[in-house]
Amino acid sequence: YLFYDHDEGEQCFFPSVDALDRVYAHYPNATFINVIRDTASWFTSLKNFAQSSLFVRLRLCNGTHFPDGQSKVQDWYKFYNWHNNMVQQFAVDHPSLTYIEVELESNTTSKVLEDSTGIPSQCWKKCRPNKMLCDEELESRDRKTVENSRKGEKREVVKKLGIKKSRILKSGKLIEMTTKH
């Protein structure tokens, strides 16, 4: 999501809401990566990000399809689900696009992204910009990890939650779906 600082009542601009058609016009063979998460988890993150300043700004936003400042939690849930469905349908309707949908909180996200883009999985990290820390630092500070001596891999002890799915659409057709049990 991108937006501009604005005064109350001014319209915000979100390319994924307001300009998919313009992106497509200039890049008809683009790859869209839609990173999704559980709706309640998304809303909690939205409210907590940067001491809730993002949520406050979005509530003041007069953007297309955005809930207004008096909206209830369920209105934000509906918006989030509408947005994800709208982006996916846009990709289906424009078969020259490649659409990759991955779950933010899945342990397989970086592998799915590597397999579908060719960019190594270690380049895809879960970051928390408001804390300026990425997973490696968080693991060493906040999470208990176990060293697997044979492979030298760290395994998280904490359980990650989420919807556990990935979708890849190419030429308007679903070509892969990964589900983690």
Distance of alpha carbon 15 from alpha carbon 20, whole angstroms = 6
Judged by average pLDDT, the poorest of 67-71, 75-79, 136-140, 162-166 is 162-166
pTM: 0.66
**Angle formed at CA 23 by CA 132 and CA 41, multiple of 5 degrees:** 40
169, pLDDT greater than 70:
no
pLDDT at residue 15, rounded to an integer: 80
- Residue range 42-70: average pLDDT? 76
